Amino acid sequence: MTTRQKVFAIVIAVSIFLLILELVRRGKLKEEYSWLWLLAGVIIILPVIKYEILAWLTQTIGAVVHTTALFLFAILFLILVGIFFSIRLSSLSTQVKNLIQELAIARLEIDELKRGKADT
Amino acid sequence: MFQDTVVIIPAYNELDTIFDVVSGLRNLYPELPVVVINDGSTDDTALEAGRAGAIVINHSFNLGYGATIQTGYKYALCKGFKFLIQMDGDGQHGPEDIPALIVMVKKGECDIALGSRFLGFGDYQSSFVRSAGVLFFRQLIRLLTAIKITDPTTGFQALNREVFSLFTRDFFPSDFPDADVITVLSRLKFEIKEVPVRMYPSSGRSMHHPFNVVYYLFKQLLSAFLIPIRSHQTYLKE
């Protein structure tokens, strides 16, 4: 890995770290979702610290060049992130549905109570 | 006959028909409470339903057919009703068939009675796609449960409290509860019977019939095939 490549990877990783920390600080991103992106930053830095990891990965999956392994794992990571969000989305949409249903029934009951009060 | 019974009608933009459907029911069975669940209609469906004498529950926005009837189940459960009739708001279902459906459930002959357009009253005309779909789901249910259902997509049903309280759980699909739900019921050993009903031509677009046939097929297939390998606990989860 050339020095230029190392510097570039570190800049990217540090930028991700700072961006995530800033988003959490401003309350735009919840702590519970930040770990995933902080992990992404760590993964980018790993080959800079220990290049052998990338070499080992490339060999293990049977790839010829290191960039293949890099891209493959990057895409794999994004797929897993996508699935994770789909799971969260499924449970959130169930929660929203339940809330709307309960709200609708509660609103009807409030209206009935109000009407009952008005009649007496 | 209608003690502890409620009618629920899911409705989304059914302005043209909802008044006639509700007032038809109210005239025929004045003692039977009618609840219209308005699924975020953009027209005056809720107003018309209320004017015709229905109790109206309003969703803040559109949730889908399954979630809408589920609101009806939740309402019936919290109000202590023991029996429930569900029908569409587009005028397809005749209120005169309600006694035949509810009697089956009240007598304990079954837990859920499905109104079938293919038994007895044979004048129902449907599109090719729909007929093909019905045939397909008939076979699918038969394959998975060994029971014969002629009209698996019917929205005209009578249910007892055990069934509609089960349907308030989170497994109940928000979009189209059809073959998959029947399969779940059969697996949980509920008694399912069909009753011949008239089916009038739909005067508008029914929310029960999806535009996206491919998605619908895929979804039904996936959930129907997952049912046998799911634990029973999935359906009992709050």
* Three-state SS sequence of A12-70: HHHHHHHHHHHHHHCCCCCHHHHHHHHHHHHHHHHHHHCHHHHHHHHHHHCCCCHHHHH
CA distance A85 to chain B (A): 19
The nearest alpha carbon in chain A to B77 belongs to A105
Distance CA B84, CA B73 (A): 8
Distance CA B40, CA B232 (A): 33
* pLDDT recorded at residue B13: 94
* pLDDT recorded at residue B80: 95
CA distance A30 to chain B (A): 26
Amino acid at B79: K
Torsion of CA B191, B195, B201, B204, to 10 degrees: -30
* pLDDT recorded at residue B211: 58
Q: Which of B7, B8, B11 is nearest to B46 (CA)?
A: B11
Say yes or no for a CB contact (<8 Å) between B67 and A107: no
* pLDDT recorded at residue B178: 82
Would you give the distance in Å from CA B195 to the centre of its chain? 14
Q: For residue B115, what are its two tokens?
A: 């109104």
Domains and CATH numbers, chain B: 5-236 (3.90.550.10)
Pairing of the two strands B83-86 and B5-11:
parallel
Say yes or no for a CB contact (<8 Å) between A101 and B61: no
**What residues contact residue B41 under an 8 Å CB cut-off, 6+ apart?**
B11, B12, B13, B14, B15
Please count the other Cβ atoms lying within 10 Å of the Cβ belonging to residue B147: 15
Radius of gyration of chain A (CA): 24
* pLDDT recorded at residue B226: 82
ipTM for the complex shown? 0.86
Give the tens place of pLDDT for each residue, B73-116.
Answer: 999 999 999 999 999 999 999 999 999 999 999 999 999 999 99
* pLDDT recorded at residue B3: 83
Say yes or no for a CB contact (<8 Å) between A104 and B61: no
Which stretches of chain B score pLDDT less than 70?
A: 120-127, 203-212, 237-238
Q: Is A90 on the interface with B (CB under 8 A)?
A: no
CA distance B60 to chain A (A): 7
Say yes or no for a CB contact (<8 Å) between B78 and A105: yes
Give the tens place of pLDDT for each residue, B47-83.
Answer: 999 999 999 999 999 999 999 999 999 999 999 999 9
pLDDT more than 70, % of chain B: 91
Say yes or no for a CB contact (<8 Å) between A94 and B60: no
Q: Which of A96, A105, A112 to mutate to test the interface with B (most CBs of B within 10 A)?
A: A105
* pLDDT recorded at residue B40: 95
Amino acid at B97: D
List chain A domain ranges: 1-49, 67-120
Length of chain A counted residue by residue: 120
* pLDDT recorded at residue B209: 52
| Site of tokens 């401003």 | A26
Would you give the distance in Å from CA B232 to the centre of its chain? 23
Which stretches of chain A score pLDDT less than 50?
A: none
Q: Is residue A43 classed exposed, middle or buried when 0-12, 13-18 and 19+ CB atoms within 10 A define those classes?
A: middle
* pLDDT recorded at residue B136: 82
